[in-house]
Structure 1
Amino acid sequence: MKKALLAAALMSAGVIAHAQSSVTLYGRLDAGVAYMNGIGAGTGAQGQATHGSSQVQLESGYWGTSLWGMKGVEDIGGGNKVLFHLEGSFSTATGSLGSAGSIWNRWATIGMANDQFGTLLLGRMLFISNGIWDFDPFGQSNWSSASMVRGRNWPQSSNNISYQSPNWYGFDVYGQYAFSNATSWNGNGSTTQGREAGLQLTYTSSLFQIRGLYDEIRNPDNGTLGGAYNTLNGGNLAPGATQANGNGIFAYSRDYMAMFNLFLGAFKIQGGYEAIRSAGMSGQAIGQPTTLDHEWGGVTWQMTPAAALIAAVYHVNANNGGGNATLYTVGGSYNLSKRTLLDIQAATVQNSKSANFGLNANNFGVAAATGNPVPGHSQTGVYAGIQHSF
């Protein structure tokens, strides 16, 4: 009997050793003080928005999203692993969730990985357009590439299936496909998300890295690659309209990117081109674009292991009278420790006569609630903060 119990114990120990698992809890807290001017607010004698408002705010997530989450992995043998990933954003300024009623608004996935065949995940995740992050000098901070496309580059995606390949001689492939979960494949107004998909190819070497990326986000109302601009965003729908597609090309469109990183010792040079295209949009008022062309470039100087300086320029051209804008920005960070850094950034957006792009990735429009400047006016800001990771 004792021998049988000992054998059973040894067998159990073998199973436990074979199916090793681990769970990692992690997070990041980011907060600071931001000053910004040139906010369109109020109306003048002719009913036009006035210029000159400014504000000072305690902000969260300007240098990087405040978030918390957990990751888990179980080794089931044969080179196979089961994975899960849960992650949600929040505001350190107010303590509120990044998305009301959603704890895991960034990641909620389960899947499997194999060293030879890659990783397959199912669930909610950051949409593939976030792949610009690795090639943006400011890493998609609040004042960066996302500002010139009004947040088109940083959405999350539900109902998603993704695949990440292993590295093959410096190349790797990543793809996503997100279902609309509607009776119509592309979306028909019965769900909150239309069909979404994307593919990126990356080549990495010790000297440089290049990436090509394509994606599309479809309008959940009708499955098209475009949408109307609602009244709240300064557009042409009747007052009280409740269409979800109120941000036009900035919400539903095709996106093409070509990007590079160049590694030169203490310097990293980054740049790229992005073309955003809608389809089937008609009857747009002047100033409501249907195509965007976005270019950027910048350099990071790692002065010391702890201190870095960054400078970058972002430019966008919008058709249909949307004008063009250029964002100039400088900043840097200093690591107090492996987990804590101080950061600072100063930036200005210079708009052409008809453009009203702001420092923040605000929705289309000139209403005071958007925080955008009046068309043809500039906007300038300074931010300083602290970030801690755990």
Structure 2
Amino acid sequence: MKKALLAAALMSAGVVAHAQSSVTLYGRLDAGVAYMNGIGAGSDALGRATHGTSQVQLESGYWGTSLWGMKGVEDLGAGNKALFQLEGSFSTATGQGPGGGGLFNRWATVGMANDNYGTLLLGRELFISNGIWDFDPFGQSNWSSASMVRGRNWPQSSNNISYQSPKFYGFDVYGQYSFSNATSWNGNGTTSQGREDGLQLTYTSSLFQIRGLYDEIRNPINGRLNGDPTITDASTGQTGGPFTASREYTVMANVFLGPFKVQGGYQAIRTSGMNGAFTLPGQPTTLDHEWGGVTWQATPAAALIAAVYHVNANNGGGNATLYTVGGSYNLSKRTLLDLQVATVRNSKSANFGLNANGPGLGADTGNPLPGHSQTGVYAGIQHSF
């Protein structure tokens, strides 16, 4: 009898081990004070926009999005796992969530993983263009590469199927395909998202890392690779063009030199079917965007960063250059202080600002007037759990 009970106990233990699972709750809180000048939000006696307005604000997510989430894994045996992840953003300044984006506006996925064959996920994810994060000296903070393309690089994607391969001789592949869920494959105005997809190939060694990335975002109104510059998207504030619907070709590199990391990239952003000269400022049909920078890990706790970002827009969109320096100091493994100083210099017809806003003018955008510069200083604290 004892032997039978022992055998049953051992069998039960084996089943529990086989189906072992875990759930992790995690998050990040980011807040700080930002000063920014050169905002074209004032007006003269005739009601015309004037340059020079400044503001000081308590902001959330400038150094990194404030977020919380949970993820889980269940071991199915034979190297197979079932996975899920739920993640949403919020503001530490107001306590508010993402609003129309939903509770889990960043991640809501379920899928399978295998040690030898990779990971397959279904649901809502950060769009593949967020892969620029690894090669941006400021990690796509609020004043970095996203500023020069008005947020084109950091959207989320619904109705998504993604695949991440294992590493093979230093190479790995990641791909996404997002359905429009409309009656027309690319989108026809019946759903809030057009078809989106992308593919990236990465090679990593101890000395350097290289990534090539292609992606496209279709206009949900007509399924095309362009946006109507006269229509403003109420959820994003964007007014079409290459900033909302386009193809993106990107090549990037990291070079690891002891305490120094040198990073750079080039993006060609292209539309199709956009003709004519747009009268709104900052409404080109193509963009060429490049950047470079260096991070110096001066001590295990302190890092200094310097970077330059440049964009050239056709069709009278002009060009702009963002110069920025900053750094962080880790008080612990989970808490850091951060500081950034940045300035944008615009050509005569460009009105790119520090924040990744749409091309409009006024207090709601924070952009400078065309041809004017904008400068800002940010200091904050970030805690992860």
What TM-score range do you get, normalising by the shorter chain? over 0.9
The alpha-carbon distance between structure 1 residues 231 and 33, as it changes in their structure 2 partners (threshold 3 A), is same
Q: Secondary structure at the match of 1:369?
A: coil
- Match for 1:262: what amino acid? V
Indicate if the aligned counterparts of 2:232 and 2:238 stay in contact, CA closer than 8 A: no
Cα 1:44–1:282 shift into 2, 3 Å? farther
* Aligned alpha-carbon RMSD (Å): 1.8
Alignment of 1:1-390 (within 5 A): 7-44=7-44, 48-100=48-100, 102-230=102-230, 246-286=239-279, 287=281, 288-390=283-385
> Per-residue displacement from partner, 1:199-224 (whole Å, max 9, x unpaired)?
00000000000000000000000100
TM-score if structure 1 supplies the norm length? Answer: 0.94
Letter in 2 for 1:20: Q
Percent identity over paired residues: 81
Asked whether the 8 Å contact 2:238–2:357 carries over to 1, the reply is no
Structure 2 CA distance for aligned equivalents of residues 137 and 195 of structure 1: 30
Moved more, 14-23 or 191-200: 14-23
CA drift of 1:297 comes to 0.2
- The separation in 2 between residues aligned to 1:363 and 1:243, in whole angstroms, is 8
The 1-side partners of 2:310 and 2:123 are apart by 34
CA contact (8 A) 2:238 2:359 kept: no
Residues 99 and 105 in structure 1, CA contact (< 8 A), matched pair in contact too = no
1:356 partner amino acid = N
Q: CA deviation at 1:99?
A: 3.7
| Corresponding letter in the other structure for 1:360 | N
Distance in 1 separating the partners of 2:237 and 2:36: 29
**2: CA distance, partners of 1:345 / 1:245:** 26
What do residues 121-163 of structure 1 show as CA deviations (whole Å, max 9, x unaligned)? 0000000000000000000000000000000000000000000
SS at match of 2:52: strand
Q: Give the Cα separation in 2 of the matches to 1:245 and 1:317.
A: 19
Q: Shift of residue 229 of structure 1?
A: 1.9
Between the aligned partners of 2:155 and 2:315, the Cα distance in structure 1 is 25
Separation in structure 1 between the aligned mates of residue 231 and residue 240 of structure 2, nearest angstrom:
10
Task: State the Cα distance separating 1:41 from its structure 2 match.
Answer: 1.1
Matches of 2:238 and 2:372 in 1, distance apart?
27
One-letter amino acid of the structure 2 residue matched with residue 128 of structure 1: I
* Structure 2: tracts of 5 or more residues without a match: none
Check conservation: 1:122, 1:159, Cα contact below 8 A.
yes
Alpha carbons 2:100, 2:235 under 8 Å: kept: no
Shift of 1:12: 2.3
Distance 1:260 1:70 in 2: 31
Find the aligned partners of 1:13 and 1:242 in 2 and give their Cα distance: 51
- Cα pair 1:221 1:245 within 8 Å, conserved: no
Q: Does the aligned pair in 1 maintain the 2:42–2:53 contact within 8 Å?
A: no
Q: Could you say if the C-alpha distance between residues 340 and 242 of structure 1 is closer, same or farther in structure 2, counting changes exceeding 3 Å?
A: closer
Distance 1:245 1:137 in 2: 25
Q: Displacement, 1:306? A: 0.2
CA displacement, residues 347-380 of structure 1 (integer Å, 9 cap, x when unaligned)? 0000000000000000121233111000000000
CA distance in 2, matches of 1:145, 1:155: 13
Is contact 1:230–1:243 with CA below 8 Å preserved after alignment?
Answer: no
**SS at 2:12's partner residue?**
helix
- In the TM superposition, residue 281 of structure 1 has moved relative to its aligned partner by 1.4
How many angstroms apart in 2 are the aligned matches of 1:54 and 1:230?
A: 28
Over residues 20-62 of structure 1, what are the superposed CA-to-partner deviations in whole Å (9 max), with x where a residue is unaligned?
Answer: 1111111000000000001111333565321011000000000
